[in-house]
Amino acid sequence: MYESSYHYLLMSSHLGFQKKVMAVLKPLGLSNGQPKVLDHLRYHNGASQKDIAHACHIEPASLTSILNRMEKQHMIERKNLNGNRRSFHIFLTDYGMELSESIEKAFLTLEDEIFSEISDTEKEQFLKTFEKLYKNITKEE
């Protein structure tokens, strides 16, 4: 059955989750791409643009556009490290850190909602299996 196939469930779940995330974060004025970059920088502050693009699965050209907007909105700042003028590292501003905290709360709230009728054991098994699927999908990258 099509509606219970892996690709359909994955695509539909992802789109549904994205819709819910953006609805919750709408008052913050964030656009697509910004939440995952802020979330990544929360734990990897000072990452290079290349590392952010890879971790967030964003094409480098698209990331440049996202970062330009984020810099104009005072969420991030770019800095050269060790005198290397060709490579920028991205740091959260205080405002960016506040936004990343709001994003983390939104993600945790939505995850609680999504897993609300699933036992801890089922959740743990699902996440283990999902991680294996992810590793299989990304092992050739």
Task: Going from the first residue of the chain to its last (141 residues), give the mean pLDDT of each consecutive group of 10, the final group possibly shorter.
Answer: 84 90 88 92 95 93 94 95 78 97 92 94 96 87 58
The 3-state secondary structure of the chain, one letter per residue: CHHHCHHHHHHHHHHHHHHHHHHHHHHHCCCCCHHHHHHHHHHCCCEEHHHHHHHHCCCHHHHHHHHHHHHHCCCEEEEECCCCCCCEEEEECHHHHHHHHHHHHHHHHHHHHHCCCCCHHHHHHHHHHHHHHHHHHHCCC
pLDDT at position 24: 87
Residue range(s) defining the domain that contains residue 114: 32-138
54 located within any domain = yes
| 89 part of a folded domain | yes
pLDDT at 1: 65
CA torsion angle for 13, 121, 42, 46 (degrees, to 10)? -100
pLDDT at 40: 96
Give the model's pLDDT for residue 137: 86
Does some domain include residue 70?
yes
- Domain assignment present for residue 23? The answer is no
- Give a yes or no: residue 67 inside a domain: yes
Q: State residue 87 phi and psi, 5-degree precision.
A: -125, 115
The whole-number pLDDT of residue 72 equals: 96
Residue 88: the pLDDT is: 86
What is residue 141's predicted lDDT score, i.e. its pLDDT?
Answer: 58
Query: Residue 47 sits in a domain of what CATH number?
Result: 1.10.10.10
Residues 6+ apart with CB under 8 A from 3: 9
User: Considering the entire predicted model, what is its pTM?
Assistant: 0.82
Answer yes or no: is 56 within a domain.
Answer: yes
Residue 4 in domain: no
Instruction: Please tell me the total count of domains within the chain.
Output: 1
Identify whether 42 is part of a domain: yes
